[in-house]
Structure 1
């Protein structure tokens, strides 16, 4: 068991930045942020987790950490994102860890749990349905309309430049609070910084990770006003969890860690302590 703080971990010749907080002997929980945010997205959630006896490890993921921005989209295939999570679990010194993820972080949490159930104690996904459920729902008009931007992101060079130029108005329109938007903009609102994050979308179809059903205990917390992830995929997720499962719907939008920290923390604490 880790008894000292870690601030970075190494994997695949890359260096990832980590915020390690909470009681040193606390239950280990890895917090995986989404797009286009960073590890600071958890700052309202983590104090509540620490009060419940949980120790949190929040990395800036591949493409977001300054020392982990490999060139080329192949470096962002899902198998690499999953391997990064296992490398962080190794760095904590724990054999098994709990995962909490939002947006893309939720997708990576589902995939990691499905492919490494021996290393993952539970999953709490915020907003994001199981990837297989989302793939099935993408055949519906509802989800296809919400996911239009994924196709647009396949274009080389242009998406990261457009997103960088319009970072504030684009994400403000989705309900991201101004305080958080300014913090993320300082980190990501230029094309070079957004290239890696956008490559997550470009590498999806080239990836070699199976979206297995998840056998570990899992929770999906979903906002009924989510602009990106619709009800069909959220409700289909039940079919891809074989272990204990909870689906929690709340009246909220997409940015749950920023706008609904109490609900996020309660869902994670209930899942971990169950």
Structure 2
């Protein structure tokens, strides 16, 4: 079981789910678009049972208490700052970091910027940003998979995504995500300003800098039916990790692996994090 908590920071109050006993072994889990900390429900339970203190915040724009209107307030520098502010608030000098989708992009960036704070990195779906960028520039398959980003950055994105009872958002989940989770995500996205805030992550991406080579112990998990990420970027990620690296492929699983294949994801996370328990 997880508890709903509020984590105050200088940027505002983050909503979060929290599980596990107070512990020096903290795990921070970062969600992606268009989800929330709820996507980690099954992982929070597994981590708590293993003795970890796990927190899954609703990130900037998803938490009503941290929802700035300006696009530049969603640049990666701000997202990294949020992660560190949450960790500081709960008293974690070092922590294990897990991300999925946009949460993975943030996690890669945190590990690159402040490796001294990150005990282990676990990234689901989204590869190292520079591997992804190279694939996006040169790989027609990745260009096709990422074509949706043009819509997400457009002025019509909000209207298009919410039309017809948010049919375009529902389609993203491919019937791979529990229905009650989809309902919760859509309720959040319909709140005033929420979808615009979530889309501002895409609109602000041009403000992101280089991540560099990762030196912390890293687990990267890609799935063969991920509609957003092709094999080229996934396989090239190894070139951007200088530290210990583990690459795992989930066959027949979609982009939404934490909810679609929670047992396998939990097994991988516990093995990786537990193998470097300090």
TM-score by structure 1 length? 0.93
1:249 is aligned to 249
2:107 is aligned to 109
TM-aligned CA deviation for residue 73 of structure 1? 0.3
Question: Secondary structure of 1:25's match?
Answer: coil
Q: Return 5+ residue gaps in structure 1 as ranges.
A: none
Runs of at least 4 residues of structure 1 off by over 3 A? 10-13
TM-aligned CA deviation for residue 151 of structure 1? 2.1
1:211 is aligned to 211
Question: Secondary structure of 1:94's match?
Answer: coil
2:141 is aligned to 142
Task: Provide the C-alpha distance between the structure 2 equivalents of 1:173 and 1:150, rounded to a whole number of angstroms.
Answer: 15
Shift in CA distance, 18/102, structure 1 to aligned 2, threshold 3 Å: same
Report 1:120-269 matches (<5 A): 120-138=118-136, 139-156=138-155, 158-166=156-164, 168-174=166-172, 175=174, 176-177=176-177, 178-189=179-190, 192-207=193-208, 209-251=209-251, 252-269=253-270
Alpha-carbon RMSD: 1.7
TM-aligned CA deviation for residue 53 of structure 1? 1.6
Task: Provide the C-alpha distance between the structure 1 equivalents of 2:41 and 2:117, rounded to a whole number of angstroms.
Answer: 25
Question: Are 2:44 and 2:55, in contact at CA under 8 Å, matched by a contact in 1?
Answer: no
Question: Secondary structure of 1:17's match?
Answer: strand
Residues 168-219 of structure 1 show CA distances to partners (whole Å, capped at 9, x for unaligned) of 4324434242232112111113562101110000001023x32111100000
Q: Return 5+ residue gaps in structure 2 as ranges.
A: none
TM-score by structure 2 length? 0.91
Shift in CA distance, 204/248, structure 1 to aligned 2, threshold 3 Å: same
2:41 is aligned to 43
Shift in CA distance, 190/20, structure 1 to aligned 2, threshold 3 Å: closer
Task: Provide the C-alpha distance between the structure 1 equivalents of 2:44 and 2:63, rounded to a whole number of angstroms.
Answer: 20
Task: Provide the C-alpha distance between the structure 2 equivalents of 1:180 and 1:65, rounded to a whole number of angstroms.
Answer: 16
Task: Provide the C-alpha distance between the structure 1 equivalents of 2:48 and 2:192, rounded to a whole number of angstroms.
Answer: 35
